[in-house]
A and B are shown apart, each in its own frame.
Chain A
Amino acid sequence: MAGSTLEIKDLHVSIEDQEILKGVNLTITGGEFHAVMGPNGTGKSTLASAIMGHPKYEITQGSVLLDGEDVLEMEVDERAQAGLFLAMQYPSEISGVTNSDFLRSSINSRREEGDEISLMKFIKEMDEAMDYLDMDKNMAQRYLNEGFSGGEKKRNEILQLMMIKPEIAILDEIDSGLDIDALKVVSKGINKLRNENFGCLIITHYQRLLNYITPDKVHVMMQGRVVKSGGPELAQRLEAEGYEWIKEELGIEDETVGQKA
């Protein structure tokens, strides 16, 4: 079998004693691109953050396995070292730390001591990736995300993705705030990684992104769980008709997580 497999089984997540995820099941395997869609406030970012180990989210039930290893037992950095990556909906700004120093530390954290990437090789790879993403070279020496525009931050997430080359990536609204050209560039970057060793979970509200990155599977989240799955045609139908028909089909009145199912 090629690539890694991320299995999410019956995942329940609470924040400050309020249950937000109520049993999510999802399996992503190397080579597959999955899209997760769903109205606002239905638990998509919560799912992404919980998988990566955000300290605020408490897992109350279920499991997350990466190639059979218990992800939930790992620290955040160990999850990354194991091959997970999360492009965040709202990336942090970190003053005084240059983008390039940060990236080099990130890459080296996944390599053995003594086998660090050479500065030459790093600069070359970074230059190439920045060219590919149409990024201003000055961005390398600027402080991490500090003062970056919304679109620049998103591009910077993809730059990290391209350089870190994880096994499984979760991209949370990587398309939000991007203009048309940036959307194309970012999609190009993600598609470049598409191969049988790379699996991706793409959280988005818009079919537009999926026009550039065709998903193998599309899932819809409501009330803190996956309520419907299908192929790319599901995303197209959502774009055309919205979510009302799914709610009717499943007898859901309020799709947000606050509601009891």
Chain B
Amino acid sequence: MTVETKLPYDLEYISQFSQEQNEPEWMKSLRLQALEQADTLPMPTPDKTKIHNWNFTNFKHNATGGTIQSLDELPQEIKVFFDTENQNQNLVIQRNQTAAYASLSPKLKEQGVIFTDIFTAMNKHSDLVQRYFMQDAVSVDENRLTALHAALMNGGVFVYVPKNVVVEEPLQSVFWQEDPEAATFNHVIVVAESNSSVTYVENYISHNKEEEAVANIVTEVIAHDNANISFGAVDNFAQGTTVYVNRRGVAYRDAVIEWALGQMNDGNTVSENITHLIGDNSVSNAKTVTVGRGKQSQNFTAKIVHFGQQSEGHILQHGVMKDSATSVFNGIGKIEHGAAKSNAEQESRVLMLSKDARGDANPILLIDEDDVTAGHAASVGRVDPMQLFYLMSRGISKQEAERLVIHGFLAPVVKQIPIQAVREQLTEVIERKVY
């Protein structure tokens, strides 16, 4: 174990922190146990990316933020994430680790839908949160970072959709790391009971360039029988924040989990997006886009594991790399023995905009069953000069032509993002990062 991974947070600190949040006893003991486990667990080992000298220890764990009475108070750079014209009634804004703003439509409340910050959820629905907190999807002891996450969890939301409830309007969370050194140890749980459906979209934002911070995020998405969850995200942490984000889905019989992830962090990032297709006929589409720039190093794993028969898993990863950014894309389709008639498809495409950038696409199929179909495609390439010639021959400038090609390249994922304001925001972030 290297010295840098020693944290200034001990059992006493965590005990105290848990008490201050008024947490149920189970959470406190889970935290304390996790902290002890963290000492002995290994760091995650993302394929082909060295993370041993990344900052995972230097951050301010306890950073609160002011509450928000009206969205008008927010600065413009946060406002842009909302549809101000027809304002979303289902919204949670977290400022550092303070649940600063929360609203949920009366209709959904009446139907029993829960959408609150994680601490409120633990207070009001302790059993329900306990039932799902690092149980079915991510385990506390997977690696040192998951254990540290559990020990130091300081934000997040809980979404619960009861049986047969169809939530039409999307639920939106905005996680704003306002303090440049604030740690984001967010835990997000989305549970959809049988025959229900929900669309959830989240944004992570920070503006710290020089100041260092850490985001250690675990997200667990559980779709029960025949439930349908559409999960969208735009991660936009600034250069100073080192990110570990672990988003995991579990789909039971006939359930569908759709992921649309815009991974636009400017700092070093390890992102894991894994879905377990447990039930027969379960489906997951995992679509991600990313733009790498500067000197950042990123590692993206998109993995779908098939247990249920006739389960369908599609992975689509599109990345654009510029400057001397480095990214590794692992697209993994795994079909377990017994998951007959399943189909695993994966596609990883990387567009290189500079000769110093590095992109690595690794499509992997691991198949333990005969009666299945599977396919993969991967490419790492430059903008096709013939395409540029064609566009320019119509009068379009070189820069605009490149812009069109790049947007076109990222479009398959961008257009999947559920909320228009977020989609536009993602487009704008892409624009800003590419030029």
Spell out A's residues near B (CB within 8 Å). 52-56, 75-77, 79-81, 85-86, 88, 91-92, 94-97, 101-102, 105-106, 109-110, 143, 160, 164
Q: With A91-B390, A102-B391 known to touch, is A96 a contact of B396 (CB < 8 Å)?
A: no
A75: chain B residues at CB < 8 Å are: 392, 398
* In the complex, residue of chain B having the shortest beta-carbon distance to the beta carbon of A96: B408
Q: How far is the CA of A106 from the CA of B412 in the complex (A)?
A: 23
Any A CB within 8 A of the CB of B384: yes
Most A-side CB within 10 Å, residue of B385, B393, B398: B393
How many angstroms between the C-alpha atoms of A86 and B391 in the bound complex?
11
- Name B397's contact: one of A56, A77, A95 (CB within 8 Å): A77
Q: Which residues of chain B from 112 to 135 have any CB-CB distance to chain A below 8 Å in the complex?
A: none
A97 touches B407 (CB 8 A): yes
- Number of contacts between A and B (CB, 8 Å)? 82
**Bound-complex Cα distance A52 to B395 (A):** 11
The answer for the CA separation of A101 and B394 in the assembled complex, in Å, is 13
A81-B408 in contact given A92-B384, A105-B400 (Cβ < 8 Å): no
Given A96-B410, A109-B397, 7 more A-B residue pairs with CB atoms under 8 Å apart are: A56-B385, A77-B393, A77-B395, A91-B390, A97-B405, A102-B394, A102-B404
**When the two chains form their complex, are residues B392 and A80 in contact, meaning their CB atoms are under 8 A apart?**
yes
Contact B389 A96, beta carbon cutoff 8 Å? no
With both beta carbons as reference points, the residue of chain A lying nearest to B406 in the complex is identified as A96
Interface of A is mostly: mixed
- Asked if B89 is at the interface of the complex by the 8 Å CB criterion, the answer is no
B404 and A94 within 8 A (CB): yes
Set of chain A residues within 8 Å of B105, measured between Cβ atoms: none
Determine the chain B residues whose CB is within 8 A of the CB of A110 once the complex forms: 395
Residues of B within 8 A of A77 (CB): 392-393, 395-398, 401
- With both chains docked as a complex, state the minimum distance between the C-beta of B318 and any C-beta of chain A, in angstroms: 10
Kindly name the residue among A86, A94, A109 whose own CB sees the greatest number of chain B CB atoms within 10 A. A94
Contact (Cβ within 8 A) B396 A94: no
Q: State the CA gap A97–B403 with chains docked (Å).
A: 10
Flag if B398 contacts A94 (CB, 8 Å): no
For residue A57, give the distance in angstroms from its CB to the closest CB of chain B: 11
CB < 8 Å neighbour of B386 from A79, A92, A109, A160: A92
Contacting residues of chain B (22-63) with chain A, CB-CB under 8 angstroms: none
Interface contact B395-A81, CB-CB below 8 Å: yes
A143 to chain B, nearest CB (A): 7
Contact of A94 among B385, B392, B395, B408 (CB under 8 A): B408
A91 surroundings in chain B (CB, below 8 A): 390
- Binary interface profile of B, 370-394, with partner A (CB < 8 Å = 1, else 0)? 0000000000000011110111111
Closest 10 CB pairs of A and B: A96-B408, A96-B411, A109-B395, A80-B395, A106-B394, A76-B392, A92-B390, A97-B408, A77-B392, A92-B387
**With known contacts A77-B395, A77-B397, A105-B396, A97–B404 Cβ distance under 8 A:** yes
19 CB-based A-B contacts, threshold 8 Å: A53-B392, A54-B389, A76-B392, A77-B398, A77-B401, A80-B393, A80-B394, A80-B395, A86-B393, A88-B390, A91-B390, A92-B387, A95-B411, A96-B410, A97-B405, A101-B404, A102-B404, A105-B400, A109-B394
CB-nearest residue of chain A relative to B414?
A: A96
**CB-defined contacts of B409 to chain A, threshold 8 Å:** 95-96
B322 to chain A, nearest CB (A): 18
Note all chain A residues with C-beta closer than 8 A to B391: 92, 94, 102
Query: CA of A160 to CA of B395 in the docked complex: distance in angstroms?
Result: 12
Q: Which residue from chain B places its CB closest to the CB of A54 in the assembled complex?
A: B389
For A76, the chain B residues whose CB sits under 8 A away are 389, 392-393, 398
In the assembled complex, which residues on chain B have CB atoms less than 8 Å from the CB atom of A102? 391, 394, 396, 404
